[in-house]
């Protein structure tokens, strides 16, 4: 099948199907779902603390970056800093959504590696793990997550700013934002299964870019689910399971 066909509507729908296959797998293995909730709950607590602190100090941050407004009238100065503080907190929320997966996977690496391995065992057996020292594997995962975060920021910050542009910010930007966030969510969620196959970061990115249909279908649906309050926590084990199925069947079989 050609790449263009694979990246069309059928590819998008197949990505959606992989997400639901992950949901089905954890529904059949509720203990594994509970097992996968632990790191997601830890990450949630950390993010709640961080967002509460950001909300508490957003006004002070706005004041620090707008010293030029000190001489303005109180009404104009306070309005500017309120809007800037609100924008700062909103940007923090956006970054929380797009980085939650990477942080949760970093916290719960052993949990999700075991979960992904059990998914593969159910599908016929997991490939052998690469003979790489643990410290090197951890260092590589952290480095790859930081690089991915850099890409996320490179796209998310300009899109966030464009969100304030009338019409475009309420129509085009949300669609582009969901696509970008979905793509990078898939990058993170497929990393476990791809690393097990010995695929370096550049090769993983190349495979994902070459088959955008299922990647976006899976990732955008995951992104929308993660926007639901506590959705990221509840759905994280299913997302890892679904990403593992997708890698095995479509992106890097074998």
Q: Provide the residue range defining the domain that includes 40.
A: 3-251
The pair of three-digit structure tokens given for residue 234, joined into one six-digit string: 């509840």
Q: How far apart are the C-alpha atoms of 1 and 42, rounded to whole Å?
A: 42
Number of domains in the chain: 1
pLDDT tens-digit profile of 106-125?
Answer: 888 888 888 998 999 998 87
The number of CA neighbours under 13 Å toward the Cβ of 165 is 11
| Closest to 8 (Cα-Cα) out of 221, 215, 225, 236 | 215
Q: How does pLDDT run along the chain (254 residues), one tens digit per residue?
A: 444 444 466 788 999 999 999 999 999 999 989 888 999 999 999 999 999 999 999 888 888 988 888 889 888 888 888 988 888 888 888 778 778 888 888 888 888 888 998 999 998 877 777 666 555 666 677 777 777 778 877 887 788 778 778 887 778 888 888 898 899 889 989 988 998 888 888 888 899 988 889 999 999 999 999 888 888 889 999 999 999 999 988 876 65
Q: Containing H/E element for 99? A: helix 74-107
């Amino acid at each position: 099948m050609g790449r263009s066909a694979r990246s069309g509507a059928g590819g998008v729908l197949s990505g959606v199907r992989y997400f639901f296959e992950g949901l089905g797998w954890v529904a059949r293995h509720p203990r594994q779902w509970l097992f996968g909730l632990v790191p997601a709950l830890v990450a949630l607590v950390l993010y709640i603390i961080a967002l509460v602190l950001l909300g508490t100090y957003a006004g002070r941050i706005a004041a620090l970056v707008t010293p030029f407004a000190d001489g303005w009238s109180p009404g104009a100065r306070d309005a500017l800093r309120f809007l800037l503080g609100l924008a700062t907190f909103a940007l923090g929320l956006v970054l929380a959504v797009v980085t939650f997966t990477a942080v949760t996977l970093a916290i719960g690496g052993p949990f999700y590696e075991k979960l992904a391995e059990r998914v593969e065992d159910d599908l016929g057996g997991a490939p052998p793990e690469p003979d790489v020292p643990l410290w090197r594997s951890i260092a590589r995962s952290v480095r790859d997550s930081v690089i991915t975060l850099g890409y996320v920021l490179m796209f998310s910050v300009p899109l966030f700013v464009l969100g304030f542009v009338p019409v475009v910010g309420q129509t085009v930007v949300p669609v582009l934002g969901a696509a970008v966030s979905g793509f990078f969510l898939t990058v993170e969620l497929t990393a476990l299964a791809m690393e097990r196959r010995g695929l370096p970061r550049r090769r993983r990115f190349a495979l994902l870019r070459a088959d955008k249909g299922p990647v976006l279908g899976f990732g955008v649906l995951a992104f929308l689910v993660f926007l639901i309050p506590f959705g990221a926590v509840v759905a994280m084990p299913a997302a890892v399971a679904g990403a593992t199925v997708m890698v095995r069947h479509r992106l890097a079989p074998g």
